[in-house]
Amino acid sequence: MRYAHTLLTVALAFGVAIGSACTRKPPTEPPNTGPGSVKVARQYLEGRWTLVSFAVYPPSGAPVTVNATGTLVYDDFGNLTMDLGVDEAGAAVMQKSGIPVEKGRFTSSGRTIVDMQGRSLRYVLDTPPAVGGQAGPLAMSRPRYWERDGNTLTLTTKDDNGKPLSVGRWQKQ
């Protein structure tokens, strides 16, 4: 009889513990979705953007505005694709500044990690970039600092001292 009473007490205690665990309320907001979260940062960047202006800051000399057209697509999974088309003079300026241009085009794409507080994003590289892609103002290893003002997105790459290397301004489509 005593064994049955102990077994009943343990079963009852276990049932109460399970019942109280089931009545807990889930958090009102899933993790990583509130202000300052990666999800919010991605929402700022998400969409299809058209290039408004692109400037390169050569190692020596004044900034040069490059005659370019382009699109930038940032999806809800953190993938970023950028495609710039430049004329012959723009290609020369970009090449001189260490930006690889092939047949009048500069293209980069990959998955990114967003830093909301630092307002930057970094490419996550599964494989090393092609020759020349690891150096220069638009190297895949450099973070892109972003600012969004309404429908305008500004992406800036900086050198190790924080000076701009390139600045692209984009308009949301």
- The partner residues of 85 in beta bridges, in order of sequence, read 69, 105
Lowest mean pLDDT among 11-15, 58-62, 79-83, 162-166: 11-15
CA dist 53 to 84, 135, 153, 155, 157, Å? 11, 22, 11, 11, 14
What are the residue boundaries of the structural domains of the chain, listed by start? 38-172
Looking from the CA of 163 toward its CB, the CA atoms found within 13 Å total 8
* Distance separating alpha carbons of residues 110 and 79, to the nearest angstrom: 6
Higher per-residue confidence, 117 vs 130: 117
Amino acid (1-letter code) at residue 60? S
Looking at the structure, give the CATH architecture of the domain made up of residues 38-172.
Answer: Beta Barrel (2.40)
What's this model's pTM, rounded to 2 decimal places? 0.71
Token match 């665990």: residue?
21
Q: What is the pLDDT of residue 160?
A: 85
The more confidently predicted of residues 109 and 50 is 50
Identify the pLDDT of residue 127. Answer: 57
Runs of H (alpha helix) within the chain:
2-22, 38-45, 88-96
Question: What pLDDT digit, counting tens, does each position of 49-93 carry?
Answer: 999 999 998 877 789 999 999 999 999 888 999 999 999 999 998
Q: How confident is the model at residue 7 (pLDDT cuts 50, 70, 90)?
A: very low
114 token code pair: 């967003």
